[in-house]
Structure 1
């Protein structure tokens, strides 16, 4: 069975509610109006009856039984007060004045069955509704009392035709129901307009389609591997997917909806997008100990910015693969250089043995063992971290393969490395500096050139100094060499120092470049032991 469309349902619902309220209010107003008019006529009849009963002319006429005078007076008073009739009777309810003179002298009970006992006996004025000889009327009856003795000497009955009241009510009802009809029509037209605008506001979708799209959106958000967080204009999180919890190291059971963003990420600059309204794409940040790429996009409704959506992913996924491949390549280069070097040494030693130069062979073996033992002893003592020590050992062998020497200052010490500092990135930037120094030395000084490395962890910073015997760095180029793609080696270079600068920017470090007096240059790297991780989502 096909369901009724939302617009039709809204028109019917709003129209029904409007009609129900309008009819209910109109009916109540009509009833209240009728009841009020009847009450007003009753009060008026009673008031006129009391006034007539207190008139001296009426009192004197009853005492003297001056019937003609009483009839003239009753007619005049009825006309003055727009009453249907005014009937005057004596103390026995016998008519003395009546619009129909043929009824004079008969009991007032003949009109409505009420003999006026309540007024004549108890002395009370009262109101009643009855149908008499002049039609249905609202009647007010009051006793006539002698002013000197207070005795009841007669009764006055004043009647107002209810036909007039009904005519007045009908006239009011016509106006009332016209207003009710107009209000009902306005309600229906308003329902049509509201339903149309609401339908356009939800892009013409039905509730079932909206529910399906919401489920699809939620499933899509949860399936995306990028973390996604949306905030409203007050900075309150409205949406966060599962990947956001995982990336931010939050419990998957912890709901972020309704939580202020700054409670989760105190240093977030996401709210700045609300002010600027400018999107921000592919910005690299350092968040909770990991490098990420963030996209921030304002959400607009018309010309107003109502929120911001941020998506973020780990940028080091590919970087990690790249670094692993780089390390594997370094290990392969190290093994190859060591294989090549030791192969030559073994051939030399074999030749010396074959020619009987045993002493020379032993000296060569001792020299080789001594050099490596000294280096290993220095690394074990000064650099207990195996990752950094392995990197330095590989660079040492790489330098020997290139016909160069990597001299590590025997007074170097690097034992107080913060746990928070990622070793793979530290090795990467240190390796880049040493590789650049080896390459510059080889090109400028040839074989026999030296690269010197000094390390210290004294004080509040880690300091690495790398000196080469290259051509030096011109002063005008010292600031530009850390930009991406800037290199003296030509195209496809200029990445290593750029990565070094990025790492330093994240961890609050710095690097200086100076040319040495004789030849070459010195790169000095400073890293704080308590780096302040810079977060900005």
Structure 2
């Protein structure tokens, strides 16, 4: 049975609601207590002021001393009560407790009740008291009344407890209303916050985030390529084990460091500033040449960082050479198949015409020519990748009516130091293809359609010369022939010679071209076998 678990959004909402409710409850209680005390304190001050005002009234003092035969005290008190708020009772009595003023006129002339008046009569004190009177339980203050230096009575002002309680309840209801409004706003805020948290983590639950993190770490460690990611401040946020090995650093040490402190030749900060991705760029880490891809990390329209992946070029080159060898064999087989199909058709035609002797002579001629080509290539070219390339180009040239001549001094070994077979395929293949196109696409001054090739390897370098008998290159175009995209052939993107130049420069080699209109073009390449560091 699957264990029930609340979603993160629900957990956040519940937690914030509980914390907010407890905080508001405590605040409400404190404010309520403070409000009640404030109300009672204010009321005590008010009834005290009123009592003192009446007690110090000259007319009250004199009338009370003379026993108020005219009843002016009751009239005065009733007039005062008509505009006083929060005062429920005012009672004026003499030293015997006989009342001369009371909110209920029927009680005038009767004795004071409650039993809490003795202190003011006996000691002339001013004090608060809570007692049961004729109008009910009340909070009241007693103030003595003096006339010509002797006490003649007292005044009691008060408010009914039920009135005080009602005022407190109204104040508490107001506090509760504000608290409930605050709680409602807090609940809405909790929901919005939980929703934003959910969006920021792409709607994932904590256990899913944990699983993804574990899987990510496993994938990063399983990848042979080095990976480094930085934020917009060029601080490293991610680095895998392969990158640490290539850089000879510790993963924990690298996190949070500026990428240029760890990887001085890194171009990741430039990728952040330009926003442009870079692919298959060569870099040097210690004594290792790597191939690097760099792309910016985007959040909508803004760039939040950049990530680079890199791999030891030696491994990439090895894989490329293996693929290239297979490709060259396939190309050679394809070209030979096509060529020999044509020759078989010639032989079949001769046999059908009963020209048996002619067929025999043709077969011998073809066999000798093919053996001669194979013998020359195998004898002079020990690198099987380049041998396969040349064999395929020979067959292609024959199909296009072009003759490829290998110089007698040609010699290429199997191993070439820092110059790889894949690099030679790029250089020789593109130069031969360029020569074939030059001869096939334009009219030659003479009938010869020749390509001469010479490859000479020594302990220090490899020299390659490819010359064709095409129409040549115009003088004003010579400076542009190695530019990517430049071409004189319609529909061609002009990348062949640009690739050649890049391959040559990658080993600090040199390339030059000589061309004469109407005569032909020659390319000369020199590749040092030990690259300068």
> Shorter-normalised TM-score: what interval?
0.5 to 0.7
2:82 matched to 1:89?
Answer: no
Aligned to 2:284: 286
Q: Deviations over 1:37-90 (max 9, x none)?
A: 111111111111111111111111222221522222222223332421111233
Alpha-carbon RMSD across the aligned residues, in angstroms, is 4.9
Q: CA deviation at 1:499?
A: 2.1
2:294 matched to 1:296?
Answer: yes
The whole-number CA distance in structure 2 between the counterparts of 1:429 and 1:482 is 21
- SS of the residue aligned with 2:10? helix
The within-5 A match list for 1:150-161 is 151-161=150-160
Task: Output the TM-score relative to the length of structure 1.
Answer: 0.62
Aligned to 2:58: 56
**Is the contact made by 1:45 and 1:138 (CA closer than 8 Å) also made in structure 2?**
no
Judged with a 3 Å threshold, the aligned counterparts in structure 2 of structure 1 residues 14 and 101 are, in CA distance, closer, same or farther, namely same
Q: Deviations over 1:306-351 (max 9, x none)?
A: 222222212221325778999xxxxxx9997799xxxxxxxxxxxx
Q: CA deviation at 1:158?
A: 0.7
Judged with a 3 Å threshold, the aligned counterparts in structure 2 of structure 1 residues 91 and 234 are, in CA distance, closer, same or farther, namely farther
Task: Output the TM-score relative to the length of structure 2.
Answer: 0.63
Judged with a 3 Å threshold, the aligned counterparts in structure 2 of structure 1 residues 484 and 254 are, in CA distance, closer, same or farther, namely farther
The within-5 A match list for 1:97-496 is 97-100=101-104, 108=112, 110-117=113-120, 121=123, 123=125, 125-146=126-147, 149=149, 151-247=150-246, 249-252=247-250, 254-319=252-317, 403-404=408-409, 424-425=417-418, 480=481
2:77 matched to 1:77?
Answer: no
Structure 2 alignment gaps of length 5 or more: 325-375, 383-405, 436-449, 488-494, 516-520
Structure 1 alignment gaps of length 5 or more: 327-332, 340-400, 407-422, 456-463, 487-491, 532-537
How many pairs does the alignment contain? 417
Judged with a 3 Å threshold, the aligned counterparts in structure 2 of structure 1 residues 315 and 528 are, in CA distance, closer, same or farther, namely closer
- SS of the residue aligned with 2:506? helix
Judged with a 3 Å threshold, the aligned counterparts in structure 2 of structure 1 residues 177 and 112 are, in CA distance, closer, same or farther, namely farther
Aligned to 2:371: none
Q: CA deviation at 1:525?
A: 7.9
Q: CA deviation at 1:231?
A: 1.3
Judged with a 3 Å threshold, the aligned counterparts in structure 2 of structure 1 residues 104 and 427 are, in CA distance, closer, same or farther, namely closer
The whole-number CA distance in structure 2 between the counterparts of 1:213 and 1:429 is 40
**Is the contact made by 2:234 and 2:258 (CA closer than 8 Å) also made in structure 1?**
yes
Q: CA deviation at 1:4?
A: 2.1
- SS of the residue aligned with 1:61? helix
Judged with a 3 Å threshold, the aligned counterparts in structure 2 of structure 1 residues 203 and 453 are, in CA distance, closer, same or farther, namely closer
The whole-number CA distance in structure 2 between the counterparts of 1:262 and 1:218 is 24
The whole-number CA distance in structure 1 between the counterparts of 2:193 and 2:481 is 63
Q: Deviations over 1:87-122 (max 9, x none)?
A: 1233565544334566556664x32534234x8636
Aligned to 2:337: none
**Is the contact made by 1:482 and 1:501 (CA closer than 8 Å) also made in structure 2?**
no
**Is the contact made by 2:240 and 2:251 (CA closer than 8 Å) also made in structure 1?**
no
**Is the contact made by 2:140 and 2:157 (CA closer than 8 Å) also made in structure 1?**
yes
The whole-number CA distance in structure 2 between the counterparts of 1:336 and 1:465 is 17
**Is the contact made by 2:466 and 2:524 (CA closer than 8 Å) also made in structure 1?**
no
Aligned to 2:18: 16
Q: Deviations over 1:4-44 (max 9, x none)?
A: 23333233223323333333333333333222211111111
2:508 matched to 1:501?
Answer: no
**Is the contact made by 1:93 and 1:116 (CA closer than 8 Å) also made in structure 2?**
no
- SS of the residue aligned with 2:418? helix
